[in-house]
């Protein structure tokens, strides 16, 4: 369907809000058993793209990845923006900064968690490539 210049704005808004609503509603599956099993790394991301080039698919997948990364980034894990917000909220509530040792240990734990998640996700890709 071709839209003229003025028709494209409302249609783009409609498609964008529908897509964002679908992404947000599907995020509940991330923290389930099924979500953990379907977690993938770089190989899974590469497999999302079709074999033949398609601009629409490219931008839809790019938008999905952007929204997924934004959602994951606000989770309160030290090392991500959500972790920084968590410590800022602590400062606002207690009116004092968290001890520096606590911040350092939290960053180490957060980074270890993120690295383990990276290894798990890419390990799932390797497992699927050879055993499924």
Q: Is residue 33 part of a domain?
A: no
Say whether pLDDT at 65 is over 90: no
Residue 75 located in a structural domain:
yes
Residue 22 in any domain: the answer is no
Q: Which residue range forms the structural domain that includes residue 66?
A: 39-131
Q: What is the C-alpha to C-alpha distance for residues 56 and 50, in angstroms, rounded to an integer?
A: 11
Cα(70)–Cα(82) distance, rounded to whole angstroms?
Answer: 10
Q: Looking at residue 63, what is its pLDDT?
A: 84
Confirm whether 16 is domain-assigned: no
Is 26 part of any domain?
Answer: no
Answer whether residue 30 shows pLDDT above 80.
no
86-127 tens-digit pLDDT:
999 999 999 999 999 999 999 999 999 999 999 999 999 999
This model's pTM is above 0.85: no
> How many domains in the chain?
1
Q: Would you state the pLDDT for residue 85?
A: 95
Q: Which residue has the higher pLDDT, 26 or 100?
A: 100
């Amino acid at each position: 369907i071709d839209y003229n210049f003025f028709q494209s704005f409302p249609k783009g808004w409609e498609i964008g809000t529908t897509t964002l609503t679908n992404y947000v509603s599907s995020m509940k599956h991330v923290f389930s058993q099924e979500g953990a099993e379907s977690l993938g790394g770089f190989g899974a991301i590469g497999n999302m793209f079709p074999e033949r080039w398609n601009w629409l698919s490219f931008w839809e997948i790019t938008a999905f990845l952007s929204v997924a990364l934004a959602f994951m980034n606000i989770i309160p894990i030290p090392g991500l923006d959500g972790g920084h917000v968590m410590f800022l909220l602590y400062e606002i509530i207690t009116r004092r900064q968290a001890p520096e040792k606590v911040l350092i240990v939290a960053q180490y734990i957060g980074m270890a968690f993120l690295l383990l998640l990276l290894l798990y996700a890419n390990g799932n890709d390797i497992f699927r490539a050879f055993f499924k």
